[in-house]
Amino acid sequence: MEDILLEKSNLRKEMLASRAAIPSELKEQYDLAINAQLQDWITLHQPKVVHCYLPMGAEIDITPSLLFCLSKDIKIIAPKTLNQRKLENRILNSLDQVENGIWGTLHPTGELYEGPIDMIIVPGLAYDEHRYRLGYGGGYYDNFLVQYPEAKKIGVFYLMQKRNAVPKERHDISLDLIFTEQ
């Protein structure tokens, strides 16, 4: 068990550094390509409720997809990060209605949401061919994803984040789809 935790920790450090080193012009191109795939999937499958992260730091900027959903009257839910590996789902009405949270996160100022979710856009640091992901180590998404087994779980990553296998534990959940810049 300690070996897996150490392996995850080392891979997180490597991936954070690699992702941060992507030149801004290239990152912008990659992010646009990933957003195009997200929007195509949304157009094809027409989810009514989409759960997503609000990007921070060097994360993939999914803002164009959020604006796309809002323009199509798709309900957007984003998490407020709480202590003890819990996420509080809040309705995002506008990207102008957000506030700072713990760990440098942003969350909507909108009301709480406790209904069904059709699609979950999941961030991460690494993924593998079996669609397992390595997150930031807080366990927030592991606890969250298990609560929505029917939701389509879509990871967004850069191709350089792919590994043959990411270290995983029993509680780790594989995603349904991975979108990269290619």
pLDDT score for 1: 59
Is 98 within 8 Å of 109 (Cβ atoms)?
yes
Mean pLDDT throughout 118-146? Answer: 89
Is 90 within 8 Å of 113 (Cβ atoms)?
yes
- Going by C-beta distance under 8 Å and a sequence separation of 6 or more, which residues neighbour residue 72? 42
Among 6-10, 30-34, 146-150, the range of highest mean pLDDT? 30-34
Whether residue 87 is predicted with pLDDT greater than 70 in this model: the reply is: yes
Q: State pLDDT tens for residues 154-174.
A: 999 999 999 999 988 888 889
Is 145 within 8 Å of 153 (Cβ atoms)?
yes
Whether residue 22 is predicted with pLDDT greater than 90 in this model: the reply is: yes
Q: How far apart are CA 4 and CA 61, in angstroms?
A: 29
Q: What is the DSSP string of 114-132?
A: -S--SEEEE--SEEETT--
Mean pLDDT throughout 59-71? Answer: 96
Q: How far apart are CA 77 and CA 91, in angstroms?
A: 5
Edge to edge, the sheet with strand 162-163 lists: 133-134, 126-128, 162-163
- Going by C-beta distance under 8 Å and a sequence separation of 6 or more, which residues neighbour residue 71? none
The pTM score is 0.91
Mean pLDDT throughout 113-117? Answer: 95
CA angle at residue 147 from 135 to 84, to 5 degrees? 55
CATH architecture of 2-179: 3-Layer(aba) Sandwich (3.40)
142 pLDDT band, cuts 50/70/90, is confident
Q: Supply the DSSP symbol for 179.
A: E
Whether residue 180 is predicted with pLDDT greater than 90 in this model: the reply is: yes
